[in-house]
Amino acid sequence: MSTSGSSTGTGPLYIGVSTKMYLGYQASLRWLSEVRSIVDDRPGLGMESAKESPVRVFAIPSFPVLEPAARILAGSPVLLGAQNCAWGDGPLTGEVSPGMLAELGVSLVEIGHAERRRLFGEDDAVVARKVRAAVGHSLTPLLCIGEPDRLDAGAAAAFCVQQVRAATDGDPALLNRLVLAYEPVWAIGAQEPAPPHHVNAVLAQIRAALGPACPLIYGGSAGPGLLPRLPAADGLFLGRFAHDAANLGRVLDEALLLRQTDAPANSSSSRS
């Protein structure tokens, strides 16, 4: 999945969902079928123009669901993602290698999520190994970044830029292969997303530091009505609210409207 050349306001918007471990096996299959139907019902996301589509959709179910997920999504523009990967193969009991993910039809893999860092002890060195392993198997790392506590925009952006540089060892070739998901840890699972003015300010400063090499999306209690208020974002990484596929459809409609009209946001609303 090529990500180079994205720039806010002109490149494609990325809209995706991770199910984490909220859905069981059968519920995951039903959800994926609903996602497929929602995308099929929107001609602007159609397969004929998938490479030029103004909105790119991705779905990230649990590991055991990946094989049937690839069959459900076959022929659809929906990109299949995985929630994690190992840094290699061989004697890594209980892990899943990026090579196997590629065989299953996965095109992007979530790396460095705050839960992996906090609960499973994944530090910058582990994240960097996983990024290189994923890219080595032609997978797009969906690299999660975000400050652990509430900080001002400048400090938050500096923290995130450091995470990106650690994950890529400062290699611009690796940076070009990423999708970055800005997820302030304090907003994950919260009642409301981070304030739009904070998100816009942080994203703008990250972009100023890193350049336009890769898409930069927001995640953290994101829902309908948020995307038009984030002119600095290249999309949204959705969570539990989008486990109702109809809610995903609402966000996709907002994204299509933004790109079709080339009016990513009203500047006054972004200050609210």
Which positions are catalytic? 113, 183
**CA 220 vs CA 30, 38, 49, 78, 109: distances in Å:** 24, 23, 30, 21, 18
Q: What is the largest CA-CA distance in the chain?
A: 54
Dihedral-angle region of residue 97 (phi above 0 means left; psi in -120 to 50 means alpha; beta otherwise)? beta
Task: For residue 16, give the amino acid letter.
Answer: G
Burial class from Cβ neighbours inside 10 Å (0-12, 13-18, 19+) for residue 177 reads buried
CA atoms in the 13 A half-sphere facing the CB of 193: 27
Q: Residues 6 or more apart from 45 whose CB is under 8 A from it?
A: 39, 53, 55, 57, 77, 252, 256
Query: 16 by DSSP, 3-state: which?
Result: strand
The helix (H) or strand (E) run that includes residue 165 is helix 153-168
Please tell me the distance from the alpha carbon of residue 181 to that of residue 82, in angstroms, as a whole number.
14
> Which residue, among 187, 32, 41, 65, has the nearest Cα to 114 in the 3D structure?
187
160: number of Cβ within 10 Å? 25
